[in-house]
């Protein structure tokens, strides 16, 4: 809890682990595709900005992901369950969504090491969180 003896604990644990070949390349940090990570970055920015208002009532779907050497174009949909939630996500005159998009775009550019054009839409899909077919189409059962 206090961080004491962490190096010693790590050494003891490492000594007890069995030796084997690496499952993934040493520099690979995840097995998820860039599209998934992009959606998660956008979702993270939404949740951070919206706080407790909508954390479980929204999801992000990457509709199109077009890569070129000069720029990556990403078209994403933010799905919510009700029209009132849509208004919250968009904010006054679109200011909140624009700000979220800017923050997400900057993080995505660092992730993929390319310039990014990010287009966000907010759409309503009533009951998506309780519909297995909708969850499958949004990639939740991969």
Could you tell me the residue ranges of all domains in the chain? 49-134
State the DSSP code for 1: -
Give exposure, 65-81, as e/b (b: 16+ Cβ within 10 Å).
Answer: eeeeeeebebebbbbbb
| 86: Cβ contacts below 8 Å, ≥ 6 apart | 80, 122, 123, 124
Written as six digits, the tokens of 22 are 């690496």
Per-residue pLDDT at 30: 77
Distance CA 72, CA 75 (A): 10
Per-residue pLDDT at 20: 86
CATH superfamily of the 49-134 domain: K homology (KH) domain (3.30.300.20)
Per-residue pLDDT at 139: 60
Per-residue pLDDT at 2: 84
Whether the predicted pLDDT of 53 surpasses 70 = no
Q: With bands split at pLDDT 50, 70 and 90, how would you rate the model's confidence at 8?
A: very high
Interval 90-136: pLDDT, tens: 999 999 999 999 999 999 999 999 999 999 999 998 876 666 665 56
Interval 11-23: pLDDT, tens: 999 999 888 888 8
Per-residue pLDDT at 115: 97
Interval 30-43: pLDDT, tens: 778 889 999 999 99
């Amino acid at each position: 809890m206090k961080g004491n003896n962490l190096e010693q604990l790590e050494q003891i644990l490492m000594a007890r682990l069995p030796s084997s070949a690496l499952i993934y390349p040493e520099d690979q940090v995840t097995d998820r595709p860039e599209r998934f990570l992009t959606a998660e970055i956008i979702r993270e920015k939404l949740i951070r900005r919206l706080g407790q208002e909508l954390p479980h009532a929204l999801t992000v779907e990457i509709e199109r992901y077009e890569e070129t050497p000069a720029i990556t174009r990403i078209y994403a949909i933010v799905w919510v369950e009700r029209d009132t939630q849509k208004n919250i996500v968009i904010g006054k005159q679109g200011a909140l969504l624009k700000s979220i998009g800017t923050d997400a775009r900057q993080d995505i550019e660092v992730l993929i090491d390319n310039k990014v054009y990010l287009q966000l839409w907010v759409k309503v899909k009533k009951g998506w969180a309780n519909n297995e077919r909708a969850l499958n189409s949004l990639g939740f059962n991969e």
